[in-house]
Amino acid sequence: MNPVKLWISLAAGVAISALALFLAFRNVPMSELSAYFQSIDLWWAGITAILVLAGFAIRAYRWKLIVETAATLPYWKAFHPLMIGFMMNCILPGRVGEVARPVIIQKNDLIPFSTGLATVATERMLDALVLIVLFVWMMTAVDIDPSFQMTVGDIVLNRDTLMRLASGTVKLSIVLILGILTVSIDVSRNWICSLVNRLPVLALGHSGCHHFLECRISRPLIRIIHHVAGGFRLIKSPSKLANCMVLSLVIWGLAGLSYYTMSIGSPGIGLGFWEMSIVMIIVCFFIAIPSVPGFWGIWEAGGVFALSLFGVSASDAAGFTLVNHAVQMFPIILVGLISVMLTGINIFHLGREARTI
What digits encode the pLDDT tens for the residues 103-130? 999 888 888 888 888 899 889 989 999 9
* pLDDT at 20 > cutoff 50: no
Contacts with 199 (C-beta within 8 Å, 6 or more apart), sequence order: 213, 214, 217, 218
The amino acid occupying position 137 is: W
**Alpha carbon distance 227, 66 (integer Å):** 14
Among 123-137, 184-198, 249-263, 313-327, name the most confident range: 249-263
**Alpha carbon distance 294, 138 (integer Å):** 25
Residue 158, strand partner residues = 149
With 0-12 CB in 10 A as exposed, 13-18 as middle and 19+ as buried, what is 194? exposed
The amino acid occupying position 228 is: V
131 or 192, greater pLDDT: 131
**Alpha carbon distance 261, 47 (integer Å):** 7
Per-residue pLDDT tens over the stretch 56-76? 999 999 999 999 888 888 999
Contacts with 80 (C-beta within 8 Å, 6 or more apart), sequence order: 104, 339, 342, 343
Smallest CA-to-CA distance from 316 within 31, 20, 41, 36 is with: 36
Please give the backbone phi and psi of residue 293, each rounded to the nearest 5 degrees, phi first.
-55, 135
| Statement: the pTM of the whole predicted model exceeds 0.95 | no
The conformational region for residue 184 under phi > 0 = left, psi -120 to 50 = alpha, else beta, is alpha
Smallest CA-to-CA distance from 228 within 62, 109, 311, 115 is with: 115
Smallest CA-to-CA distance from 239 within 20, 69, 3, 17 is with: 69
| Res. 213 pLDDT band, cuts 50 70 90 | low
Per-residue pLDDT tens over the stretch 293-317? 667 678 888 898 999 999 998 888 8
* pLDDT at 195 > cutoff 50: yes
Give the chain's domain count.
1
| Res. 5 pLDDT band, cuts 50 70 90 | low
State residue 63's pLDDT score: 95
Per-residue pLDDT tens over the stretch 141-189? 888 888 888 776 667 788 888 888 888 888 888 888 888 888 888 888 8
**Alpha carbon distance 113, 329 (integer Å):** 27
Buried b (16+ CB within 10 A) or exposed e, 141-152: eeebeeeeebeb
55 or 225, greater pLDDT: 55
| Res. 280 pLDDT band, cuts 50 70 90 | very high
The residue segments making up the domain with residue 265 are 3-356
With 0-12 CB in 10 A as exposed, 13-18 as middle and 19+ as buried, what is 120? buried
Buried b (16+ CB within 10 A) or exposed e, 223-260: ebbebbbbbbbbbeeeebbeebeebbeebbebbbbbbb
Whether the CB-CB separation of 169 and 291 falls below 8 Å is answered with: no
State residue 48's pLDDT score: 96
Contacts with 60 (C-beta within 8 Å, 6 or more apart), sequence order: 75, 78, 79, 82, 83
